[in-house]
Chains A and B, each alone.
Chain A
C-alpha cells in the first residue's frame, strides 16, 4: 500500500472528526449571546393605554418573567393557562410583550383568556422584538434584579418546563 493511496482516507478521517465535533454544538446556542447581558433598552407604550410610556426601568428592580405573545399566536392559547396559574400561585412578576398585534385584538384576547401580566408592552412594529432576537411566539425571558437576561425559553412554558427549568432558576436568582 502506497502512501499516496491512503491519503484520501486520512483526509476524510480528519473531516469526519470536525463534523462530529460540530454536532456536539447546539446550533441554537447563538441565542445565548443575550444571556447575562442587560435586557435591551426600549420605549414603548402600554397595551391598554397608548399614552402611557413603558421603558426598561418599569421592568427592573425585581425578578421578572418577560413573555412574548400575540393574539394571532395559536401556541400562546395553549401556554396561557399556565401563565394565569403562575400569576396566582408563583411569586413572580410577569410582563407581557404583545407582538405584531393590534390593540383591539390584543385586549380582546386577554379579556377572553385572562390577563396574567403585571404590565403589557405593546410592540406592534417589532422594535423590542428585534433587539431581543425573537424567532417566534411564545418566547420567554427571565430577567434578574439588575435587569440582566438570565435565561431564554423558546416555545410554550409547560408544567414540566416551569418545574424543571424555570422555577429552579428563579429560586437561584432570589438567593443572589
Chain B
C-alpha cells in the first residue's frame, strides 16, 4: 500500500512539475499575474508530493517491507535503525529520490522567501526549477523506480552494502546533495535573469545566501566523505583524487569562484558575466558529478551501482540543461551590464584573478579526471590518472592562489597600488623568513617549510584584513571590541573561511611532506618501522560477530622503546553480501595520527600489515569545517536575510561594508 502511495505521489509530482515549468514562464511572457502565481503553488505542491513519496520509501525501509524490491536488495530486518534510514539513500534509486526531494525543497523555499522578488523573475526561475524537476522525476520513474514490487516476497533482505554501514556515510550523501542541488538555485536564477536581461545587485543579493548555503553544505559533505574514506576504506589517505571525489570537488571550486563574484556583483555592480556563467557552470558540474557516479563512465572505487541506460538519460538531461543555458547566454549576454570599471590592482581585480585561478584549477582537475576517457577515445587502453598528475598541476595553482589570498582582501575597491601595502609586505616577508627557517630546522624539508610559511602568510594577511575592519591599533581596544560586535556575518565568514584554508594547508603540507608509510608481511612478534615509530604485530584473532566474520590484529606502536598505544585493525567478511571491508586502527591526535590496516594473510606466511604516520592530518578536516562553518555564519548577515527590501543598509554601515 505504502509503495503504491509513493508511486502515485511521484507521478503526481511529475505532472505538477510539468505545470510548473510551463505556466509561470508563459505568464511572465504575457505578464499575466494569475499564470505566474501558479508557479508558487506548483512548487509547494511538488514538494509535498515528493516528500510524501520519500516518507513512503522510508516507511518501507524502516518497516522492513521486503515485497518492495529496493528494500529487499538494500535492507535487512536485523539492521540497526540508523542504517534502515540511511539505507533509503544508500542505493541508486533512493539516492536519486533524495536528490529530487532536495530539489523540491529549494523550489518550495523560493515562494516562501521570495515575496519581494520581481514577479516575472521569480516566475521564470520557478519555471526553470520545474524543468529540472521534470527531468529528474522522469529519470526516476522511467529508469530507476524505487517502488517496484517483488514477487515472491523474500523472507529477509540482502542488507546494506557493508561499506556504507557507517554513521559518516549516513550523512555524507544528504549533505553533498544539499550542496549539489543547492546550485540549481544559482542556475535557475541565472537562466531567468538572462531571459529577463537583468542581472543586477538586487538579484545578486537575493541569490547570494542560497549560493552560500549550497557551498557550505557541499564543503561539509566533501569533508565528511574525506573523513569516512580515511577510516573506512583503509586507503590510508585523506584524498585519493578518485574520480568520484574529484567530481564533487569540481562544483566546489567553481562554487567558490561564484561566491566571490556574486559578492562583488551585490556590492559593486560588476562581474555580472562571471556570476551568470559561474552559476550555470556550478550546477552543470553538479549534474556531471551525478552523471559520472550514476553511469559508471569512469572506473572508480565508488561505482557501487552502474547502469549505462541511466547514464544516457542523465547525459541528455545535462545536454538540455547546460546546452540550453549556454545557448541562452550566447544570445543574451549582451544585455548584461558590465558595471563600473576597475584597476588591475584593486579588490575587484584580485577577485577576477581569484576566479581565473579557480577556473584553471577546475580545468586541471577536470582534465585529470576525464583524461582516461580522452585517451580511450583515441586509443584502446584503459588508463587511470594518479595522484602525481594532480600534485604537479593542481598544487602549484593552489599555492599561487593562496599567495594572492594573503593580500587580496587588503586591497581597496576600484583602485589601489601595491606600493601602498609596502609595510604589510615587509612584515609578511619577515614572518615568512622566520617560519621557513624554524620549520626547516625541525622538519628538514625546504618545500615543506616554504609551504608552511605560505600558510602563515595567509593567516597573517587574513588577521590584518580583519583587524583593519576593527580599526585595530587606530582606536582603543574597547572600541575595537565594540566594532567586533558590530561586524557583519559576512566579515566573520571571510575571517573563518580564509583561516580555515590556512589551517587546512598546514595539514595538507604536513601530510604530503612528513607523512610516512610502510607495508610488509608480518608474523606475530615481527615489526615494521614507520618514521620514528615501531609497529609490532602482537595478536591475531579470528571469529564471527554480528553479520560478519573477522580477522583482527592487535598492533603495538612504540616510539624510542616507549609503548604509545595498541591499535586494533580488522578485516571483515560479510557473507550475505560476499564483501570484504577493512576497519583501520587509528590513534587520533591533534599533532599526528597513527594508522594501521591489515590485509590478506595466513598463519604460515604472515599477514600484510600497512602502517602509516599521518602528521597534522586532522587539521585538514578542522580547516575544512571552519570553511563550512564560515559559510553558515555569513548567512546570519542581516543584510542578506532572504529579503531584497533594503539595498540601503549596504551603504548605511560603511565600516561593515569592508
A residues in contact (CB < 8 Å) with B? 1-2, 5-6, 8-9, 12-13, 16, 18-23, 25-27, 29-30, 70, 72-74, 100, 125-126, 130, 136-137
Instruction: Give 6 nearest A-B pairs by CB, closest first.
Output: A72-B575, A9-B326, A22-B297, A27-B296, A6-B330, A5-B333
Contacts of B576 in A (CB 8 A): 74
Whether B308 pairs with A20 at a CB distance below 8 angstroms is no
Pairwise interchain contact A9-B373, C-beta atoms closer than 8 A: no
What chain B residues lie within 8 Å of A125 (beta carbons)?
Answer: 600, 602
State how many angstroms separate the Cβ of B179 from the closest Cβ of chain A.
Answer: 22
Name the one of B280, B281, B370 contacting A18, with C-beta atoms under 8 angstroms: B370
Q: Is the CB of A100 within 8 A of B308?
A: no
Residues of B within 8 A of A73 (CB): 575, 578
Q: Is the CB of B374 within 8 A of A100?
A: no
| Segment of B133-141, B262-270, B312-320, B487-495 in the binding face | B312-320
B575 A25 Cβ-Cβ under 8 A: no
Is the beta-carbon distance between A21 and B377 smaller than 8 angstroms? yes
Which residue of the partner chain, among A1, A70, A72, contacts B331 with CB atoms under 8 Å?
A1
B421 cross-chain contacts in A, Cβ below 8 A: none
Which partner residue on chain A sits nearest B273 by CB separation?
Answer: A5
Give the CA-CA distance A160 to B608 in the complex, in Å: 42
Given contacts A12-B322, A18-B373, A19-B373, 20 further A-B contacts (CB under 8 A): A1-B334, A5-B329, A5-B330, A5-B334, A8-B326, A12-B284, A18-B370, A18-B374, A19-B291, A19-B297, A23-B297, A23-B308, A23-B315, A26-B308, A27-B296, A29-B382, A30-B299, A73-B575, A125-B600, A126-B600
Instruction: Verify B303–A27 contact, CB threshold 8 A.
Output: yes
CA distance A21 to B330 in the complex (A): 26
CB of B75 closer than 8 Å to a CB of A: no
Given contacts A27-B296, A126-B600, A136-B578, contact A8 B277 (CB under 8 A): yes
Instruction: List, in ascending order, chain A residues with CB within 8 A of B600's CB.
Output: 125-126, 130
* B296 and A16 contact, CB distance less than 8 A: no
Interface string of B300-340 (1 = CB under 8 A from A): 00010010100110010011001100110111011000000
A23 with B295, Cβ < 8 A, contacts A8-B277, A18-B370, A74-B576 known: yes
* Cα–Cα distance between A74 and B311 once the two chains are bound (Å): 30
* Distance in Å: Cβ of A129 to nearest Cβ of chain B: 10
A27 lies within 8 A of B315 (CB): no
Q: Is B298 part of the contact surface with A, judged by Cβ < 8 Å?
A: yes
Contact B578 A27 (CB under 8 A): no
Collect the chain A residues with CB atoms within 8 Å of residue B573's CB.
100
CB-CB under 8 A from B373, the residues of chain A are 18-19, 21-22
Q: Which residues of the partner chain A approach B374 to less than 8 Å between Cβ atoms?
A: 18
Contacts of A1 in B (CB 8 A): 330-331, 334
Complex Cα–Cα for A18 and B378 (A): 11
Contact of A23 with B331 at beta-carbon distance under 8 Å, contacts A12-B326, A72-B575 already known? no
Residues of A within 8 A of B284 (CB): 12
**20 interchain pairs (CB within 8 A)?**
A1-B331, A2-B334, A8-B281, A8-B329, A9-B323, A12-B326, A13-B323, A19-B297, A20-B315, A21-B376, A23-B295, A23-B308, A23-B315, A25-B376, A27-B296, A27-B297, A27-B303, A30-B299, A100-B573, A126-B600
**Residue with the greatest number of chain B CB neighbours at <10 A, chosen from A2, A23, A25, A72:** A23
Total residues of chain B contacting the partner, CB 8 A: 40
Contacts of B281 in A (CB 8 A): 8
From B291, B322, B377, B382, A30 is in contact (CB under 8 Å) with B382
Q: If A18-B374, A21-B373, A125-B600 touch, does A12 touch B296 (CB 8 Å cutoff)? A: no
Chain B residues close to A by CB (< 8 Å): 277, 280-281, 284, 288, 291, 295-299, 303, 306, 308, 311-312, 315, 318-319, 322-323, 326-327, 329-331, 333-334, 370, 373-374, 376-377, 382, 573, 575-576, 578, 600, 602
Minimum CB distance partner of B366 in chain A:
A15
**Nearest chain A CB to B266 CB, angstrom units:** 23
Most buried by B among A1, A12, A26, A73: A12
Q: Which residues of A contact B333 (CB under 8 A)?
A: 5
With both beta carbons as reference points, the residue of chain A lying nearest to B298 in the complex is identified as A22
Contacts of B299 in A (CB 8 A): 27, 30
The answer for the CA separation of A26 and B602 in the assembled complex, in Å, is: 36
Return chain B residues, CB-CB under 8 Å to A126: 600
A23 cross-chain contacts in B, Cβ below 8 A: 295, 297, 308, 311-312, 315
Most B-side CB within 10 Å, residue of A5, A20, A74? A5
In the bound complex, CA of A20 to CA of B295 (Å): 11
Return A139 CB to nearest CB of chain B, in Å: 11
CA distance A175 to B326 in the complex (A): 57
Min Cβ gap A130→B in Å is 8
A72 and B315 form a contact (CB under 8 A): no
Distance to closest chain A CB from B288 (angstroms) = 8
A130 to B608: give the CA distance in the assembly, Å: 15
- Complex CA–CA separation, A126 to B599 (angstroms): 12
B377 neighbours in A (Cβ, 8 Å): 18, 21
A73 to B576, CA, bound (A): 8
Do A27 and B306 have beta carbons less than 8 Å apart?
A: yes
Cα-based distance from A19 to B277 in the complex (angstroms): 21
A100 to B600, CA, bound (A): 12
Q: State in angstroms the CA–CA spacing of A74 and B312 once bound together.
A: 32
Q: Give A12 to B322 CA distance when docked, in angstroms.
A: 8
CB pair B330–A9 under 8 Å, yes or no, is yes
Whether the Cβ atoms of B330 and A19 lie closer than 8 Å is: no
B318: which A residues are within 8 A, CB to CB?
Answer: 16, 19
Which residues in A have their C-beta under 8 angstroms from that of B297? 19, 22-23, 25, 27
Q: How far is the CA of A6 from the CA of B197 in the complex (A)?
A: 17
Cα(A18)–Cα(B333), bound, Å: 27
Bound Cα distance from A21 to B431, whole angstroms: 52
Which residues of chain B have C-beta atoms less than 8 A from A16's C-beta? 315, 318-319, 323
Which residues of chain B have C-beta atoms less than 8 A from A12's C-beta? 284, 322-323, 326
Assuming the A-B contacts A21-B373, A23-B312, A125-B602, are A9 and B291 also in contact, with contact meaning beta carbons closer than 8 angstroms in the complex? no
In angstroms, how far is the closest chain B Cβ from the Cβ of A132? 15
| B291 cross-chain contacts in A, Cβ below 8 A | 19
Q: With A and B bound together, what is the CA distance between A139 and B491 in angstroms?
A: 59
Distance in Å: Cβ of A43 to nearest Cβ of chain B = 14
CA distance A25 to B373 in the complex (A): 10
